[in-house]
C-alpha cells in the first residue's frame, strides 16, 4: 500500500521554528514528528511512501533515508522552488513515475490514529475515483467544510477567511484521502499550480467523491495549539512504544 506524504509546505504558522527545520521534522519532545508518522503508517498497512518535498527537503532525505528503519520503502519527488500546490505536487509525482495505480495522500504535519488498511479497503470496495475521510466536527476544531451522507461527500467547500461555513457542513476533511492515478492524469494539468481543495470540490459536485467517516480525532503540528495537543497524545503513548523497527522487520523491508 502506497502513501504520498505532502511535506513541501512552508509552515508559516510555526515560524521561526520552520525557518531552519521543515515542519515534518519539528521535534516532539526530542523525537522528529516524522518518526511518529512513519511508525504509524508502517504498523497500519503502508509499505511504500513517496515524499513530496521542497524547501529544506534535503533534511527530510537525510533523516528518513530509504525508510528502512521503519520497514518502509521511501522515494522522493522535489516540488521545486516554485511550489506546485497540493494537486500539482501529485502531478509531479505522476510525471516522475512514482504513483501506483491507486494511493493514499497524507499531509506531512498530520497524525491520524486510525487503521489505514480500513480506508484502503473501503476505497477499493467502491467505484468512485477518490475517497475522503471525514470527521464529524460540528465546529470543534475548525470550520466545517464537508456535507456527508450515505458514503459520499455531497459537498466539499472550504469557507473563505471570515466567511461562515455553508449550512449542513457538520463534517471536516480528516486529512487522509485515497485516489486513483488516472484521476491525477486526467484532471491535473502538468506544469500548473493546482490545489487538491479545488479538485475535491469539483468531484463532490459531480457526485464522484466517496467518503468514510472516522471517529478518532486528528492531530496536527501545523500550529502551536496543534503541537501542544499532539504532545499530550504522546504523553499518553510513551515514546518507548514507538521504537524503530527491530532487525527481523528490517530484514524483510521492501526497497526502492
Q: Is residue 162 part of a domain?
A: yes
pLDDT of residue 246 exceeding 50, the answer is no
Task: Scan for cell 498497512, then name that residue.
Answer: 45
Residue 206 is predicted with a pLDDT of 96
* CATH number reported for the structural domain that contains residue 128 in this entry: 3.90.550.10
pLDDT reading at 194 higher than 60: yes
- Count CA within 13 A, CB hemisphere, residue 63: 20
Statement: residue 164 has pLDDT above 80: no
Q: Say if residues 157 and 49 touch (Cβ distance below 8 Å).
A: no
State the average pLDDT over residues 170-184.
Answer: 95
In a domain, 228, yes or no: yes
**Burial class (CB within 10 angstroms; exposed 0-12, middle 13-18, buried 19+) of 224:** exposed
Could you please report the per-residue DSSP string of 182-197?
A: HHHHHHS-TTS---HH
CA angle 70, 72, 78 (to 5 degrees): 110
The string of pLDDT tens digits covering residues 197-217 is: 999 999 999 999 999 999 988
For 52-109, what is each residue's pLDDT tens digit?
998 888 999 999 999 999 999 999 998 766 778 999 999 999 999 999 999 999 999 9
Please give the residue range of the domain that contains residue 137.
Answer: 2-245
**Whole-number pLDDT of residue 240:** 52
Q: Is residue 252 part of a domain?
A: no
Question: What confidence score (pLDDT) does residue 256 get?
Answer: 31
* Surface-to-core class of residue 198, CB atoms within 10 Å of its CB (0-12 exposed, 13-18 middle, 19+ buried): middle
The tens digit of pLDDT for each residue in 6-60 reads 987 665 666 666 678 888 999 888 889 999 999 999 999 999 999 999 888 899 9
Its pTM stands at 0.88
Overall domain count for the chain: 1
Using one digit for the tens of pLDDT, what is the confidence trace for 212-236? 999 988 898 888 888 899 988 888 8
Amino acid at each position: 500500500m502506497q502513501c504520498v506524504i505532502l511535506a513541501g509546505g512552508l509552515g508559516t504558522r510555526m515560524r521561526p521554528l520552520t525557518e531552519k527545520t521543515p515542519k515534518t521534522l519539528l521535534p516532539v519532545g526530542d523525537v522528529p514528528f516524522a518518526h511518529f508518522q512513519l511508525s504509524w503508517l508502517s504498523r497500519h498497512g503502508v509499505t511504500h511512501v513517496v515524499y513530496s518535498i521542497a524547501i529544506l527537503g534535503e533534511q527530510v532525505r537525510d533523516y528518513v533515508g530509504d525508510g528502512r528503519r521503519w520497514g518502509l520503502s521511501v522515494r522522493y519527488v522535489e516540488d521545486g522552488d516554485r511550489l506546485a500546490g497540493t494537486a500539482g505536487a501529485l502531478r509531479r509525482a505522476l510525471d516522475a513515475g512514482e504513483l501506483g495505480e491507486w494511493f493514499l495522500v497524507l499531509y506531512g504535519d498530520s497524525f491520524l490514529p486510525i487503521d489505514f488498511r480500513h480506508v484502503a479497503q473501503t476505497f477499493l470496495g467502491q467505484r468512485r475515483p477518490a475517497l475522503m475521510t471525514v470527521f464529524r466536527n460540528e465546529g470543534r476544531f475548525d470550520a466545517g467544510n464537508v456535507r456527508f451522507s450515505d458514503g459520499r461527500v455531497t459537498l466539499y467547500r472550504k469557507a473563505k477567511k471570515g466567511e461562515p461555513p455553508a449550512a449542513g457542513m457538520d463534517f471536516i476533511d480528516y486529512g487522509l484521502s485515497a485516489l486513483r492515478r488516472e484521476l491525477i492524469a486526467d484532471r491535473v494539468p502538468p506544469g500548473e499550480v493546482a490545489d487538491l481543495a479545488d479538485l475535491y470540490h469539483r468531484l463532490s459536485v459531480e457526485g464522484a467523491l466517496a467518503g468514510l467517516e472516522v471517529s478518532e480525532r486528528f492531530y496536527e503540528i501545523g500550529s502551536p495549539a496543534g503541537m501542544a495537543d499532539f504532545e499530550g497524545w504522546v504523553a499518553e503513548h510513551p515514546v518507548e512504544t514507538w521504537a524503530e523497527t527491530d532487525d527481523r522487520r528490517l530484514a524483510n523491508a521492501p526497497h526502492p
